[in-house]
A and B are shown apart, each in its own frame.
Chain A
Amino acid sequence: MTAGNRILKDRVAHGGMLAMTIVGVLLVAVIAAGLYLKSRAVLDSTSLWTLLCGSEWRPMQGKFGFLPFLAGTLWVTMLSIALALPVSLLTALFLTEYARPVVRKCVFPLLDILAALPSVIYGVWGVLVVVPWISRRLAPLFVDFSTGYTVLAAGIVLGVMVVPLLVSLFIEVFSTIPKELREASLALGATRWQTAWKVVCRKTLPGIMASTVLAISRALGETIAVLMVCGCVIGIPRGVLEPCYPIPALIANNYGEMLSMPLYESALMFAALLLFAVVLVFNLASRIVLNRIGCDNS
Chain B
Amino acid sequence: MKVSRLKRIRETLAKGMMWCSMLLVFGLLVSVIWTIFSKGMKAMSWDMLLKLPGGGFYIGKEGGFLNAIVGSLYIVGASTLLGLVVSVPVVFFLNVYLKKGSRLAYVARLAFDVLFGVPSIVYGAFGFTVMVYFGLRASLLGGIIVITLLIIPIFIRTMDEATRNFPRDILDASFALGATRWETLKVVVRQIAPGIATAALLSVGRAIGDAASVMFTAGYTDSIPTSLSQPAATLPLAVFFQLSSPIPEVVDRAYAAALVLTVTVLLISIVGRFITTRFSKNKV
Contact = CB atoms under 8 A, between A and B. Distances in A.
A169 interface: no
A35 B216 contact: no
B211 A27 contact: no
A128 B261 CA distance: 17
A13 interface: yes
A25 B161 CA distance: 18
Interface residues on B, range: 35 or more
A145 interface: no
B114 A113 contact: no
Contacts of B202: 116
B199 interface: no
B41 interface: no
A42 to B, nearest CB: 14
B122 interface: yes
Nearest to A118: B209
B280 interface: no
A247 B11 CA distance: 43
A31 interface: yes
Interface of B: 7-8, 10-11, 14-15, 17-22, 24-26, 28-29, 31-33, 35-36, 39, 86, 89-90, 92-94, 97, 104, 107-115, 117-126, 128-130, 132, 149, 152, 156, 161, 164, 180-183, 185, 202, 205-206, 208-212, 215-216, 236, 239-240, 243, 254-255, 258, 261-262, 265-266, 268-269, 272-273
Nearest 8 A/B pairs, CB to CB: A221-B119, A118-B209, A17-B93, A94-B18, A223-B212, A10-B180, A193-B14, A90-B21
Given A221-B118, A251-B125, 6 more contacts: A94-B21, A118-B211, A118-B236, A121-B209, A121-B239, A256-B216
A120 B108 contact: no
A108 to B, nearest CB: 9
A96 to B, nearest CB: 11
Name A's interface SS.
helix
B92 A17 contact: yes
B32 A120 contact: no
Given A98-B15, A98-B18, A194-B7, A252 B215 contact: yes
A90 to B, nearest CB: 4
A17 B89 contact: yes
A124 B39 CA distance: 10
Given A90-B21, A223-B120, A268 B90 contact: no
Given A109-B269, A121-B262, A160-B32, A248 B110 contact: no
Interface string A250-271: 0110011001000000001100
A221 to B, nearest CB: 2
B215 A31 contact: no
A255 to B, nearest CB: 5
